Amino acid sequence: MFPKKFLWGGATAANQCEGAYLEDGKGLDIQDVTPKGIVGPRTEVPTEDNMKLVAIDFYHRYKEDIKLLQRWGLRFSAVNCLEPHFPMGDEEQPNEKGLAFYDAVFDECHKYGIEPLVTISHYETPLHLSKRI
């Protein structure tokens, strides 16, 4: 039996859920060119066999998905925020559409009493930045 104050939560990496890989100035990340993950080579450009390009389409379905989290009794969710905010990884100013998307995600979480926990990067370095290193 878990204590009454135990918090159930969940976490995903953006490449596992967001999709919309070229919308609203997002930019490419390393997951967009690794369709087989670490077991396959990088491709020069995103390819059709890369399921992460669409994933579960959280970018367009986040309201439905967050409502499900609430129905399951989850109280927090870890959210990755680097890549949509800084598509190249080295900009001086963030991508305003990326900020607006996550503002909407956070508002939706709060609507259902879910506390978003933010990670800076979870398994998806901006492609431009990875090529500079």
User: pTM score, two decimals?
Assistant: 0.85
Q: Is the pLDDT reported for residue 82 higher than 70?
A: no
Q: What is the mean pLDDT of residues 87-97?
A: 90
Q: What is the mean pLDDT of residues 57-76?
A: 89
More confident call, 13 vs 130? 130
Q: What is the mean pLDDT of residues 52-59?
A: 93
CA 58 to chain centre: 8
Q: Is the pLDDT reported for residue 4 higher than 90?
A: no
Q: Is the pLDDT reported for residue 79 higher than 80?
A: no
Buried b (16+ CB within 10 A) or exposed e, 14-38: bbbbbbbbeeeebbbbbbbbbbeee
User: What pLDDT does residue 56 have?
Assistant: 92
Q: Is 120 helix (H, G, I), strand (E, B) or coil?
A: coil
Q: How far is CA 84 from CA 24, 29, 34, 35, 75, in A?
A: 9, 10, 18, 20, 24
Kindly indicate the confidence band of residue 76, based on its pLDDT and cuts at 50, 70 and 90: confident
